[in-house]
């Protein structure tokens, strides 16, 4: 019997997506083993939650390193030691260096709270709301060496009604993230995501 893949989740904040991923693993919706939770912020609520439920955790502070590449090199060493097959960025608020991405080509999956390529960056929900977008949504994509620019795996849109509040829109976006993210992870572990030329992702039908 083939061993399940091992994956790491990278976090920086409260960890609502981490909670959803843990729940999906428990329910068998994600078959891979959640082998490590990493954070660049030792006091992040997400890393505390991971430790409390008994997951293997690791936190390294960027200020302890001379440059971003040396920081990422140390992370990669730990990931390979833990035999990590792929990585999920769940609210990880730090750009990965080109060195890191090359070490895990098309093996890093990110969730972004807008319909890329619109509203890149840390404030995707707020930026779309402030701009007055009538439709926004969620994007799941592979990570490359540019911010929010990798091949798109899945997108789901949502209308922004008149009178919508930022708080309510944020809740709706998070709900979509939790549902679509686990779907993309399951597709990846099943070998159903094929990155083609021109950065397109072909989704292979389930067997």
Catalytic residues: 112
Cα angle 176, 194, 184 (rounded to 5 degrees) comes to 20
Is residue 179 within 8 Å of residue 82, measured between CB atoms? no
Beta bridge partners of 182: none
Asked if residue 117 has a cis previous peptide bond (ω within 30° of 0), the answer is yes
C-alpha to C-alpha distances, 39 to 31, 121, 127, 152, nearest whole angstrom: 23, 19, 25, 24
C-alpha 194/C-alpha 121 separation (Å) is 26
Residue carrying the six token digits 């990493």: 38
C-alpha to C-alpha distances, 2 to 66, 106, 173, 190, nearest whole angstrom: 41, 21, 35, 12
């Amino acid at each position: 019997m083939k061993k399940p893949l091992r994956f790491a989740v990278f976090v920086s904040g409260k960890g609502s997506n981490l909670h959803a991923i843990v729940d999906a693993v428990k329910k068998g919706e994600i078959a891979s083993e959640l082998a490590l939770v990493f954070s660049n912020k030792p006091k992040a609520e997400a890393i505390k939650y991971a430790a409390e439920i008994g997951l293997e955790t690791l936190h390294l502070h960027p200020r302890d390193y001379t440059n971003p590449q040396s920081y990422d090199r140390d992370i990669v060493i730990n990931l390979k030691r833990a035999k990590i097959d792929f990585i999920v960025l769940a609210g990880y608020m730090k750009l990965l260096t080109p060195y890191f991405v090359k070490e895990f080509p098309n093996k890093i999956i990110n969730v972004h709270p807008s319909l890329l390529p619109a509203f890149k960056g840390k404030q995707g929900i707020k930026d779309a709301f402030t701009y007055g977008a009538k439709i926004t949504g969620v994007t799941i994509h592979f990570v490359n060496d540019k911010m929010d620019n990798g091949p798109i795996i899945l997108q789901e849109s949502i209308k922004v009604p008149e009178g919508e509040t930022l708080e309510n829109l944020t809740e709706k976006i998070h709900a979509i993230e939790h549902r679509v993210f686990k779907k993309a992870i399951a597709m990846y572990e099943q070998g159903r995501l094929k990155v083609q030329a021109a950065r397109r992702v072909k989704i292979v039908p389930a067997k």
